[in-house]
């Protein structure tokens, strides 16, 4: 496979990781795991040398351009695409697909978020390679479906259908984040996978699908493309991109393509899922970070620069950024997070309210 490309989406603000993640320095640019590499750098690392720097693309907010350049110094300037505003993942992906297609019309593309965690990188790379081989020469879209290890309510699910080829299944349905009761039923029934948000397709398939299901987005991309790779690109993107609707790639393309008998580029389209197990987590919340960290006998975990002592506490996570020493006594199922003098203490089962908690400080 001569023309494969890696696209990394790195424009989110990571509000659920407050106070460590803030709009001016979101989680993808932070060493959350305390390993000396940020989540963005770890994302590039796990793909190894399978993708050349000039075939690696990062789509991010214009205000994060400097951080991307500092953290990925080998990335060509033209491969850092800057969104002037947030418009969700469909316009984000359309922008980079149109730009890739202009110079690489036959590219095969893997799209990945920048805030995931993977334990077994060798298996991850094997699965990605297998997936790229599957989509080449077809109009199929392939998602990576993680074999669930628990009834997780924080992830969307994919229901697998009939066998498409080998281990690859046709997608029967996409499911929203379920209640605990529904998640338990998914595991009991089998055939359901966590939606990793990682997918693979030919660039021309991506363009054709967006033209089919999101003609307004495609129209804006065509207008922008006239100035790609020129000094006018930033101005044109800044003017046109905000006109795109705010819509996720799942709603824009995956669901309509998966549920319909659609022909793209004279070939049968559709969405497939490749079940995989390589120790995956979407590091979207403090709870998901807690799941990945080493724990003591009482289920407590700590990360960061300071020393942490747990006394009569269970199922807690503590993360410090400034080297503070912390003693935690009598807490059960709590998050204790400190960053630059701001401290959050809340129940893990209330972490969906963290954005709300952060906004309370604006009153003072």
CATH number (domain holding residue 187): 3.90.550.10
Are residue 248 and residue 307 in the same domain, yes or no? no
What's the pLDDT tens digit per position in 292-313? 899 999 999 998 878 899 999 9
pLDDT tens for each residue of 6-59: 999 999 888 889 999 999 999 999 988 878 899 999 999 999 999 999 999 999
Q: How do residues 341-362 score in pLDDT, each as one tens digit?
A: 899 999 999 998 998 999 888 7
Over residues 330-339, the mean pLDDT reads: 95
Question: Is the pLDDT confidence value at 1 over 60?
Answer: no
Same domain, 209 and 250: yes
Longest dimension (CA), the chain: 65
Give 87's contacts (C-beta < 8 A, 6+ positions apart).
241, 242, 244, 245, 246, 247
Q: What is the pLDDT of residue 339?
A: 87
The structure tokens 């129940």 sit at 347
In the block, residue with structure tokens 């997608």: 171
| 33/132 same-domain check | yes
pTM metric for this prediction: 0.93
Predicted local confidence at residue 154, as pLDDT: 86
Q: Which two tokens stand for residue 183?
A: 């998640």
61 and 171 share one domain: yes
What are the phi and psi torsion angles at 337 (to 5°)?
-130, 130
Please give the pLDDT value at position 2: 67
**Token reading at 265:** 């580029």
**Residues 244 and 354 both lie in one domain:** no
Question: Given this model, what pLDDT does residue 259 score?
Answer: 63
pLDDT band at 267 (very low <50, low <70, confident <90, very high): confident
* pLDDT of res. 266: 75
Domain-terminating residue out of 282, 301, 332:
282
Q: How many domains does the chain have?
A: 2
Dihedral of CA atoms 98, 103, 106, 110 in degrees, nearest 10, equals: -60
Residue 268 sits in the same domain as residue 290: no
Whether 87 and 111 map to the same domain: the answer is yes
Looking up tokens 């109009």 gives: 139
**134 and 181 co-located in one domain:** yes
The answer on 250 and 146 residing in a single domain is: yes
Which of 282, 303, 320 is the last residue before a domain boundary?
A: 282
Burial of 166 (0-12, 13-18, 19+ CB in 10 A): exposed
Name which of 319, 323, 309 is nearest 344 in CA terms. 319
| Domain match, 265 and 294 both | no
Same domain as 179, residue 254: yes
pLDDT of amino acid 146:
96
The predicted structure's pLDDT at residue 268: 74
> Containing domain of residue 326, as a range?
286-363
pLDDT of res. 364: 60
Q: What is the pLDDT of residues 154-198, one digit of tens each?
A: 899 999 999 999 999 999 999 999 999 999 999 999 999 999 999
Question: Does 48 share its domain with 111?
Answer: yes
From 282, 303, 324, the end of a domain falls on: 282
pLDDT tens per residue, range 89-133: 999 999 999 999 999 999 999 999 999 999 999 999 999 999 999
36 CB neighbour count, 10 Å cutoff: 8
Given a cut of 90, whether residue 321 has pLDDT beyond it is no
């Amino acid at each position: 496979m001569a023309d494969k490309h890696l696209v990394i989406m790195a424009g989110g603000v990571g509000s659920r990781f407050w106070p460590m993640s803030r709009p001016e320095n979101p989680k993808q640019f932070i060493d959350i795991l305390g390993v000396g590499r940020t989540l963005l750098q770890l994302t590039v690392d796990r793909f190894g040398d399978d993708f050349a720097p000039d075939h690696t693309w990062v789509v991010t907010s214009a205000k994060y351009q400097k951080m991307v350049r500092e953290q990925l110094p080998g990335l060509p300037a033209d491969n850092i695409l800057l969104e002037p505003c947030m418009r969700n993942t469909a316009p984000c992906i359309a922008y980079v697909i149109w730009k890739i297609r202009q110079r690489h019309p036959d590219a095969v593309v893997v799209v990945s978020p920048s805030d995931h965690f993977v334990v077994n990188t060798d298996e991850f790379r094997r699965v990605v390679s297998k997936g790229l081989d599957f989509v080449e020469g077809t109009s199929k879209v392939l998602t990576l479906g993680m074999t669930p290890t628990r009834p997780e309510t924080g992830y969307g699910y994919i229901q697998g259908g009939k066998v498409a080829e080998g281990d690859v299944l046709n997608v029967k349905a996409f499911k929203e984040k379920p209640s605990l009761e529904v998640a338990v039923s998914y595991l009991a029934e089998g055939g359901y996978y966590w939606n990793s948000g990682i997918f693979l397709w030919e660039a021309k398939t991506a363009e054709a699908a967006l033209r089919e299901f999101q003609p307004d987005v495609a129209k804006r991309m065509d207008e922008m493309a006239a100035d790609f790779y020129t000094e006018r690109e930033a101005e044109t993107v800044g003017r046109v991109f905000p006109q795109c609707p705010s819509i996720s790639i799942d709603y824009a393309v995956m669901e309509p393509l998966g549920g319909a008998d659609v022909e793209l580029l004279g070939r049968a389209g559709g969405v497939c899922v490749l079940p995989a197990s390589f120790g995956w987590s979407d590091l979207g919340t403090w709870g998901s970070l807690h799941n990945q960290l080493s724990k003591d006998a009482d289920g407590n975990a700590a990360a960061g620069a300071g020393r942490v002592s747990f006394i009569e506490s269970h199922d807690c996570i503590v993360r410090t950024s400034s080297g503070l020493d912390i003693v935690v006594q009598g807490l059960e199922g709590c998050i204790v997070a400190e960053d630059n003098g701001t401290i959050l203490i809340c129940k893990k089962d209330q972490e969906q309210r963290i954005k709300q908690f952060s906004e309370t400080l604006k009153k003072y």
